[in-house]
Every structure is written in structure tokens, then in C-alpha cells.
Structure 1
Amino acid sequence: MAEEEPLVNLEKEDVAVTEKVFVEEVKETSRIALPMIVVTVSQYLLRVSPMIMLGHLGELSLSSASIATSFSNVTGYSVLFEMCSALETLFSVLWIFTDKLLILMGQDPSIATEAGKYAIWLIPTLFPYAILQSLVRDVFLTTGDFFRFAIPSAVMVCLEWWAFELIILLSGLFPNPMLETSVLSICFTITTVHYHIPYSFGAAASTRISNELGAGRPQAAKIALAAVIVLSATEVVLASITLFVVRDVWGYAFSYENEVVTYVAEITPILCISIIMDGTQAVLSGVARGSGWQHIGAYVNLGAYYLVGIPAVVLLGFVLHLKGKGLWSGLVAGTTVQSISLSLVTGFTNWEKQAIEARRRIFSEKLAGKNKFIELQDIQMLKSEMKL
């Protein structure tokens, strides 16, 4: 019997590492990422503009809207993100009682009351958001693969998302909640706006790496990884330097209160470190998604944020009384652990093995699709025979 042909012919299909190939990969990654950056940043700016206007109305308005937004993200948007469910009705009922729930959690009554009013106006946004999430799901041909990859991906995203929102809620427990919540919400807004840039690079990396692995080209996948790391590293360093240079004035974009602007300037160095670490993990998380490591990413996020980050937040913010700076520093500790962990996972990856597994998944999906097509043909033939 003739020797069976290998599943992936690496020697014939892969590419050599050259400067020209690397430059072309940088161009291709940029071409994929740029439209995503424009779209995602533009979409998020729709949420930033109300925060800017509320910030200029006063600390109470800004802190109340921030608390309401964090509460709605934790109890609604994050759950619908990545994997749609039919819980929007339950969430809308829950948001009606936002003020009472926040007071029960120990938040300032004046902030909780205003946050409750803001949350009620967020209820209508749940339904189109849920519809949008359901429109981007293609789950009918490979339902098993969907649950195997989508659920860990959703958990991976939510664990990180909840950790950031949690510090906004915790900031309302300090003696001066309006100031602390206002400043941290400004930092969170800037971080999130910037996050969409490395996140888009990560999405581009996910696309390029998954495509190359599926084509049986592990060397090309590694080139794609190197290209996106160079692009992201350059961007986060430039963004951090720029933010540090304008640290004394950029707070005025959100508030005219001198104490808010001064506090923002003091916390900006920590914010710059956060941007670098968060940008690094955003790209590596995209690599994890493209390589099918969603479950590993979920475990990393769980350990980084809830075994390291949140305890550090409590220690620095409440035990050592560093307040808002302590909360954000604790979060930076969690993000640093996350970035290091994902870097180790990526560095020790056997890309040849990943290419073989990716090809096997593709062939399995094609076979499942063919089987379903054959079943539909059999049903049609059976119906024709019954009519005869």
C-alpha cells in the first residue's frame, strides 16, 4: 500500500522569513486592522460624547453616569457580548431598580439616585444590542464547534471586562466618591478608546494567523505574529508618551473642575503603564483567539484578574489607603500578569502542531457540511417518493 500523504505539506506550502515578506505582512495586517480601528473607535465615541458633556455639568453628573454605565455593562452588555441570549428582558427589569441596588451595595445615595435615572434611559439600547449580537452568529452548521469556542471566548472577554468595571463600582465606596469615581471613569474612558486600536490589531492577527494555520503555513503564521507585535508595540509606546506629555491639560476635555484635572494628571503615569500592558494583552488575546486557545485565555484572565488583580486592588486601594491610584495600580498588576502569561503561552507554542490541528478542524467542518447537504438531498428524495 502506498504511503499515506501527510495532512499538511509544510515544506512546499510555507514561506521563508525575509524582509520583503515581513514588510508585506505588516501592510496586510494594517489593511485589515485600519477599517476596524475606524469603526470601533467611532462607535465607542458615541458613548464618550455623553460622558464629556456630563463631566462639564459637574462631578455628580459624571460620577452618576459612570456608575450607571458600569452597572449596566456588568449586568447586561457584557453578558450579551460574544454570545447572545434571551436575558435582555430580565436585565431591563433589573435596571429599573438600579438606584436601590447601588444603595444596597454601599454607594452614595445621591450618586445612586442619579445613576438610577440614567440606567432607565439605557434600557431601550439593550434590545437592538441583543439583535445585533445575534446577527453576527453563524452556528447552524457547526453547533458543537460554536459552543466549544464561543463560550470560552465570551468568558475570556467578560472576565476582563468585569474587572475594569468593578473598580468603577468600588471607587464609589471611598470618602469622596464623586471625585474618585469621576477621575477613574475618565481614565477608563481613555483606556477603552485606546484599547480599540490594539484590539483591532489583535483581531487582524486572529484573522491572519487562523488563515495561515488553516492553510498549513506555520512559518507564515509566525511572521504574522511578529508583524502585529511590532505594529502594536509602536502604537502603544507613542500613545503612552503622548498622554504623559499632555497629562496636565487632557483632563479639561472631561471636566473644568481643578481638583479633577489635578487628580487626572497625578494618575496619568499609572494610566500610561496600563495602556502599554493592556495593548500588549489585547494583541496576544487576538493571537489566542486565532489559534483556538480561547479556553487558555479564559484561565489566564481568571487567574490574572481575580487571583492577582482584584486582591491587589483591595490591598492598595482600601488597606493601604491609596484610593483611586491604588485601584488602578492593582488593575495594572493584573494586566501585567495577563500579558506575561499570554506571552509565555505564545512563546512556547508549537506552530507546526497548531497548523495540523487547524487543518483537521477545517476538514471536519467541511465533512459536517457535506453530510448535512446529503441529508437534505435524502429528505427531498423521500418527499418526492411519497408524492408519487
Structure 2
Amino acid sequence: MESSRDGVDKPMLQSNPPLSSERRPETSGQLESILSDTRLPFCQRLLAATWTELKLLFRLAGPAVAVYMINYLMSMSTQIFAGHLGNLELAAASLGNTGVQMFAYGLMLGMGSAVETLCGQAFGAQKFEMLGIYLQKSTVLLTITGFLLTFIYIFCKPILILLGESSEIASAAAIFVYGLIPQIYAYAANFPIQKFLQAQSIVAPSAYISAATLLLHLLLSWVAVYKIGLGLVGSSLVLSLSWWIIVVAQFFYIVKSEKCKYTWGGFSLKAVSGLCGFFKLSAASAVMLCLETWYFQVLVLLAGLLENPEVALDALSICMTILGFVFMISVGFNAAASVRVGNELGAGHPKSAAFSVVVVTLVSFLISVVAAALVLVLRHVISYAFTGGETVAQAVSDLCPVLAITLMLNGIQPVLSGVAVGCGWQAFVAYVNVGCYYIVGVPLGSLLGFYFKLGAKGIWLGMLGGTLMQTLILIWVTTRTNWNKEVEKARERLEKWDDKKQPLLMD
């Protein structure tokens, strides 16, 4: 390959070959050949193509799922430690974790996603020094955003009361949230670093760092909550500390690793120039993800307005924690679907693109079905991992059928969203999210929960209706897609960008 002839770039590309340029001809070209070989019987072609696609799929999805699940386990374990302090503490940690922290998480992750595209383009164009500049720009911008979010954390108690939460739960949640303030700035550094590494196909170090930090987090949480007696604020402070450990360890890897010596050139004043344009790009990247992330936070906030909100919040928080944990698997497949479809379309392989969509969707759905079945089997005992209350256990058991349906939908919806990203349908999906989630789901949930007195289950069922509508729309659009036309659109984009000699997002 051309890049291998360059004596400067050769070590970098050998240790971290870009997926789109180095691996694609050998793998996706083989898949297209298998699917196009009419000399083979259909069943033989299907088996060979499925095996080839599965190897590609799990190579992409496996590491991503590991990182997301390990990081999520830290928040989940913090909630478990808080839950064993009492029902009020569990409700407070749930409201703080799901209602406040996830607000910041969605915004910061969405804004940090701009780095993923920019770093990927720069790495593919062999402009390696720009990856470090983009990393620093995003970190500066997210730190400024984090400073503004800090005020929401500081004044979260009156905000929660204004939204209708009880004074007792809001006060306890505020104590938990205060300990999460340092975590905001860990987000500001972590998300750009994560995307910087992913753009170079460096995923394993993040997984190892996260796994080691999780073990340390569990130990420190046990000491802070039970041995020192710091309670809610201790559990959240340990969570913040754990995120900072991940940030420092990843940054140390970037500085010391041979794999990053061409992409990290040290700190530069270029990081503070042109931030306005970078902000516009980051804000646009955040819209679609925020609409998705914040949707189920509305469910928790609405549950706080019910009669006996403590039990409702406890039950919902347990179900949301389980849902979030399984959702990390779907997020990994979302990323894999986006990469697979985008690579195949760029390579001019319509059959491979369509086949990849089918395989990744079926695999993700089957895993979600297994998870849903486990939830139904364990519905009467699953809550005792979080709290010992029998009232909460009964409420969780009552919600488990709705949780199981949600898990199965989440085996399809995130994957199809990844397909949409791979095809460049982000704007369309954003409109679909607004209509299905906030025009249909939230009002319907409020109607069932409050007017028809169905409580937390009614709110969830209504919002589940919005998710079902969105999933059906994405299925309809995907099944009607002309993949040959999508290949032509991809080719036109590539030719246009090549003519202008500009990166994609500067077009």
C-alpha cells in the first residue's frame, strides 16, 4: 500500500492499520465475492457469508461492548452500595445518577463525538498531528461546558423541587450530586481521549484500564460507604475519583505509547484557536445522541411526581439500571453497525452492506431476547441485589414484563440507528426521535401514568410506545433502502470531497 512506502508513517500504520484502508479489501471484498458467487448453492453461500460477517462484527463490537459495560458497572455498583443504605438513599442515588448525571453524560458524550469523526478523517488522511490538536480542542470546549453544568449540579435541589420532586428526596439527591461535580471534568477529558484512541483502532488499553479501575472502585466504595461511613456523598466521590483514574491512565498511555507518538505531539496553542467553529460542529453532533439519552430520564423524573414516589423511583431505578447494563451491549453493536455499513458502502459493496445490516440486527436481537428471558425468570428476586425491601421487590417484579419488552426493542433500535449513521441519515433520525419520543411517548406515558392511574408502569408503557414507533419507522426505512443507490451516494460524496481536497466536515 502507498502508506507503507513512507518511512515515517510505516510504523504507525503497521501497528494500528486503519480499518477502512488496510483491512477492508481482505475482509469485506471477500464477503461481497461470496454473496455474488452464484455458482455456490444458496445455503453454502449463506453459511460462508454469515461466518465471515460474524468475525468482522465481533472484532468491532467486542472491545467496544467491554469498555461501555465496565464503565457502566461503576455507576451501577455505586447505586447498589447506596441502595443498601436504605430506600431513601437508593431513590436519591437513582435520581442523582439517572436524572442529573445522565443529563451531563449525554451532553458531554454527544459533544465529544465530534472528535470521533474528525480524528478518523485526519488519521485516514495521514495528518497524524491533527489528532492531538482535535483532542485538545474538544477537551477545552468540554471543560468550558462542564463549568456551566457545574451550576446545575450546585443548584440541583431547587431544580428538582421545581420539577415536582419531594423535598426529602431532592435534598438527599443533592448530597449525592455534589460528590459528582469532579466527574463532570473527568467526562470533559475522557470522551475526547476515548474517541482519539478509537480513531486509531486502539481499544484494548481502555478496556484493561477500565477493568482494573472497576476492581479498585468496588474496594474504595466499600471502604468509603461502610467502613468510614461517608454515606451518599462518599459513594459519589469515589465514582468521581474512579473516572479520574481512567482519564489519567489513558492519557499516560497516550504520552508513553509508541502507537501514539505520531498522533500526540504535545500541548499546543492551536487547541484554543477556532473554538467557535468547533463548538458548532460539536453541538450538531450532540443533538441526536442527547434526544436518545435524555428520553428515559424523563421517565424517572415523571415517576417522582407519583403518589408514594420513593417506591416508584426505587423500582424504576433498579429496572433502568438493568436496562442500561444490557443497553451497553446494543451500544457496542450500534458502533459496529455504523462502521460495517459505512465501510461497505464506501467500498462499493451493496450486497455486503445489506447483509451486514441483517446479521448485526439478528445477533443483537437474539442477545436481547436471552436477557429479557433472564429478567422474567428472575423477576421476583432480581431487586434484592440492589435493596432488601419487599415492597420495592414487588414493584420491580410488576415492572419486569415491561422491562423485558424494552430489552427486546433495544436489541433492534440502537443497531438500526447505527445503520442510519453509516448511511448518513442522522438528520432524519433526529426528526424521528423528536416526533416519536417527545410528541408521542412522553404525553402518552403521562396520560397512562397519571390520568388512568397506572403509575410507573403506565408512564413506562406510554414511553415504550414511542420507542416502538421509532423502531418500526427505522425498520420500514431500512427494508425499503436501495443499497445500490446508497453506494452511488457514498461514491458521490467521496468524489466531491476529493475534488475540494477538504475533510468531510469542512465541506
Asked whether the two chains share a fold, i.e. TM above 0.5, the reply is yes
Correspondence for 2:370: 238
- Does the CA contact (< 8 Å) of 2:368 and 2:410 recur in 1? no
Task: Tell me which of 137, 149, 159 is aligned to 1:101.
Answer: 159
Deviation of residue 361 (structure 1)? 2.5
> Following the alignment from structure 1 to structure 2, what is the Cα–Cα distance between the partners of residues 320 and 263?
18
SS in 2 for 1:321: coil
Paired residues in the alignment total: 358
What does 1:215-234 align with in structure 2 at a 5 Å threshold?
A: 215-234=347-366
Correspondence for 1:265: 397
Q: Structure 2 regions of 5+ residues with no counterpart? A: 1-28, 36-44, 113-141, 200-270
> Following the alignment from structure 2 to structure 1, what is the Cα–Cα distance between the partners of residues 31 and 365?
30
What does 1:142-153 align with in structure 2 at a 5 Å threshold?
A: 153=285
- Does the CA contact (< 8 Å) of 2:110 and 2:290 recur in 1? no
- Does the CA contact (< 8 Å) of 1:216 and 1:355 recur in 2? yes
- TM-aligned CA distance change 1:300 to 1:236, over 3 Å: same
> Following the alignment from structure 2 to structure 1, what is the Cα–Cα distance between the partners of residues 60 and 338?
11
> Following the alignment from structure 1 to structure 2, what is the Cα–Cα distance between the partners of residues 38 and 169?
29
Deviation of residue 134 (structure 1)? 3.3
Q: What is the one-letter code of the residue matched to 1:15?
A: S
Deviation of residue 345 (structure 1)? 1.2
Q: What is the one-letter code of the residue matched to 1:37?
A: V
**1:22 equivalenced with 2:50 (yes/no):** yes
Task: Tell me which of 121, 126, 130 is aligned to 2:184.
Answer: 126
Q: What is the one-letter code of the residue matched to 2:190?
A: L
**1:317 equivalenced with 2:449 (yes/no):** yes
The alignment yields a C-alpha RMSD, in angstroms, of 2.5
Q: What is the one-letter code of the residue matched to 1:99?
A: K
- TM-aligned CA distance change 1:53 to 1:356, over 3 Å: same
- TM-aligned CA distance change 1:280 to 1:146, over 3 Å: farther
- TM-aligned CA distance change 1:13 to 1:174, over 3 Å: closer
- Does the CA contact (< 8 Å) of 1:67 and 1:168 recur in 2? yes
- TM-aligned CA distance change 1:43 to 1:56, over 3 Å: same
> Following the alignment from structure 1 to structure 2, what is the Cα–Cα distance between the partners of residues 12 and 250?
45
- Does the CA contact (< 8 Å) of 2:92 and 2:170 recur in 1? yes
Deviation of residue 47 (structure 1)? 0.4
- Does the CA contact (< 8 Å) of 1:70 and 1:166 recur in 2? no
Q: What is the one-letter code of the residue matched to 1:298?
A: A
Tell me the alpha carbon deviations over residues 284-313 of structure 1, each in whole angstroms, 9 at most, x when there is no partner: 111111111111111111111011110111
Task: Tell me which of 32, 50, 59 is aligned to 2:60.
Answer: 32
- Does the CA contact (< 8 Å) of 2:361 and 2:411 recur in 1? no
> Following the alignment from structure 2 to structure 1, what is the Cα–Cα distance between the partners of residues 375 and 31?
44
**1:282 equivalenced with 2:414 (yes/no):** yes
Tell me the alpha carbon deviations over residues 82-103 of structure 1, each in whole angstroms, 9 at most, x when there is no partner: 2144321111022111112111
- TM-aligned CA distance change 1:78 to 1:370, over 3 Å: closer
> Following the alignment from structure 1 to structure 2, what is the Cα–Cα distance between the partners of residues 260 and 128?
33
> Following the alignment from structure 1 to structure 2, what is the Cα–Cα distance between the partners of residues 370 and 185?
46
Correspondence for 2:78: 50
Task: Tell me which of 90, 100, 108 is aligned to 1:80.
Answer: 108
Correspondence for 1:340: 472
Deviation of residue 30 (structure 1)? 1.7
Tell me the alpha carbon deviations over residues 14-39 of structure 1, each in whole angstroms, 9 at most, x when there is no partner: 53532211221122112211111111
What does 1:170-209 align with in structure 2 at a 5 Å threshold?
A: 170-209=302-341
> Following the alignment from structure 1 to structure 2, what is the Cα–Cα distance between the partners of residues 13 and 224?
10
> Following the alignment from structure 1 to structure 2, what is the Cα–Cα distance between the partners of residues 370 and 328?
46
Please give the TM-score of this superposition, normalised by the length of structure 2.
0.67
Q: What is the one-letter code of the residue matched to 1:226?
A: V
- Does the CA contact (< 8 Å) of 1:316 and 1:323 recur in 2? yes
> Following the alignment from structure 1 to structure 2, what is the Cα–Cα distance between the partners of residues 157 and 87?
16
Task: Tell me which of 492, 502, 506 is aligned to 1:360.
Answer: 492
Tell me the alpha carbon deviations over residues 346-368 of structure 1, each in whole angstroms, 9 at most, x when there is no partner: 11112111112222323344444
Q: What is the one-letter code of the residue matched to 1:76?
A: A
- Does the CA contact (< 8 Å) of 1:208 and 1:221 recur in 2? yes
Deviation of residue 212 (structure 1)? 0.5
SS in 2 for 1:83: helix
Deviation of residue 164 (structure 1)? 0.3
> Following the alignment from structure 1 to structure 2, what is the Cα–Cα distance between the partners of residues 257 and 12?
56
- Does the CA contact (< 8 Å) of 1:153 and 1:295 recur in 2? no
> Following the alignment from structure 1 to structure 2, what is the Cα–Cα distance between the partners of residues 332 and 370?
42
Deviation of residue 369 (structure 1)? 4.4
Identity of aligned residues (%): 37
SS in 2 for 1:174: coil
> Following the alignment from structure 1 to structure 2, what is the Cα–Cα distance between the partners of residues 231 and 150?
32
> Following the alignment from structure 2 to structure 1, what is the Cα–Cα distance between the partners of residues 67 and 298?
27
**1:62 equivalenced with 2:194 (yes/no):** no
Q: Structure 1 regions of 5+ residues with no counterpart? A: 1-10, 372-388
Please give the TM-score of this superposition, normalised by the length of structure 1.
0.86
- Does the CA contact (< 8 Å) of 2:288 and 2:426 recur in 1? yes
> Following the alignment from structure 1 to structure 2, what is the Cα–Cα distance between the partners of residues 305 and 96?
29
- TM-aligned CA distance change 1:13 to 1:259, over 3 Å: closer
SS in 1 for 2:410: helix
- TM-aligned CA distance change 1:97 to 1:149, over 3 Å: closer
Tell me the alpha carbon deviations over residues 248-293 of structure 1, each in whole angstroms, 9 at most, x when there is no partner: 1111111100011111111101110011112210111111111111
> Following the alignment from structure 2 to structure 1, what is the Cα–Cα distance between the partners of residues 174 and 150?
12
Structure with the larger RCO, 1 or 2 (CA within 8 Å, 6+ apart):
1
